[in-house]
Amino acid sequence: MILFKTVEQITSFLKNKKNEGCNIGFVPTMGALHQGHISLVAASRLDNDLTICSIFVNPSQFNDPKDLEKYPVTTEKDIYMLEKAGCDVLFLPPVQEIYPVYPPEKKQYDLGYLETILEGKFRPGHFQGVCMVMDRLLHIIVTDNLYMGQKDYQQCMVIKRLIGLLNLDTTLIICPTLRENDKLAMSSRNMRLTAEERKQATAISEDLLLIKKNLQPGSLSNLKTKAATFLADKNFKIDYVEICDANDLSIVENWDGKTPLVALCAAFLNEVRLIDNMPLN
């Protein structure tokens, strides 16, 4: 695996690869890697001649400075895992390579209602920060295929929109959520859970499963309340438990029995905020 830390190095390397006719797959991450990230690398390796992973903890997407401070960094282990997974290139830039001036000049991305619901509502500015870094990264790593996880369902929709806004010739490939044996969605933030919290954390996927099992056409209001109560009873502080149209994430109050749905939730277990989602039908 080749490691690049500067924009200049990686862009000249990729220019040569493009001239050789290489197909490029890109997996952007914030590090503290787990098998969920590695599954994206594996998917990219199947489709592309060259797989690039980036590790960059993007300061502009943290609406809570404490969350940024506590974000886990495990770079040596990450490099080992990527090498073992057969990743070809790692881009590991310092902040000044991505943002020569920080805070960067603000550009406003038109994300429409996506920014006003769920993560957009509870993490103001988060998706603008995500778009800011992805705009920069996708212009440095001009990629044929971009691999992202369904674990961040709304983020995938935002990035799809960004690709359209920027008119990029990149295909977004959304990969399934990898889970631990007890069904907790893998996440870098899981490292911050105490042993006790780690046991409690399974309530999130149990809650989504509860929604899936009890889903019926008609009003979803009672089901949402039941699901929220289930989590609150397990000491979670809930940001949202919602049932949405799987295609556009609009909130569904009454289900016609046909529209594809996804249940999404975000909740704090003490200091750690966990998110998960599950397609329902």
Active site (catalytic) residues: 37
DSSP 52: E
Minimum CB–partner distance for residue 212 and ligand AMP (Å): 18
Name the nearest CA neighbour of 228 among 201, 251, 210: 210
Residue with Cβ nearer ligand AMP (82 or 175): 175
Residue with Cβ nearer ligand AMP (135 or 215): 135
- Per the CB < 8 A criterion, the answer to whether 245 and 259 are in contact is yes
Residue with Cβ nearer ligand AMP (211 or 275): 275
Residue with Cβ nearer ligand AMP (175 or 220): 175
Which residues lie closer than 8 Å to 21 by C-beta, 6 or more apart? none
Encoding tokens for residue 213? 């099992």
Minimum CB–partner distance for residue 94 and ligand AMP (Å): 17
Q: How far apart are CA 65 and CA 48, in angstroms?
A: 37
**Angle of CA points 60, 61, 63, to nearest 5°:** 100
Name the nearest CA neighbour of 95 among 7, 208, 181, 160: 7
Q: How far apart are CA 7 and CA 11, in angstroms?
A: 6
Residue with Cβ nearer ligand AMP (144 or 152): 152
Minimum CB–partner distance for residue 253 and ligand AMP (Å): 28
Minimum CB–partner distance for residue 29 and ligand AMP (Å): 4
Q: How far apart are CA 13 and CA 89, in angstroms?
A: 10
Minimum CB–partner distance for residue 12 and ligand AMP (Å): 26
Residues that bind ligand AMP (CB under 6 A): 29-30, 36-37, 39-40, 148-149, 151-152, 175, 177-178, 185-188
Q: How far apart are CA 135 and CA 246, in angstroms?
A: 25
Q: How far apart are CA 148 and CA 21, in angstroms?
A: 24
Assign residue 208 a region (left: φ > 0; alpha: ψ between -120 and 50; beta: otherwise).
Answer: alpha
Number of H helices, E strands in the chain: 11, 11
- Per the CB < 8 A criterion, the answer to whether 143 and 170 are in contact is yes
Minimum CB–partner distance for residue 277 and ligand AMP (Å): 11
Residue with Cβ nearer ligand AMP (60 or 187): 187
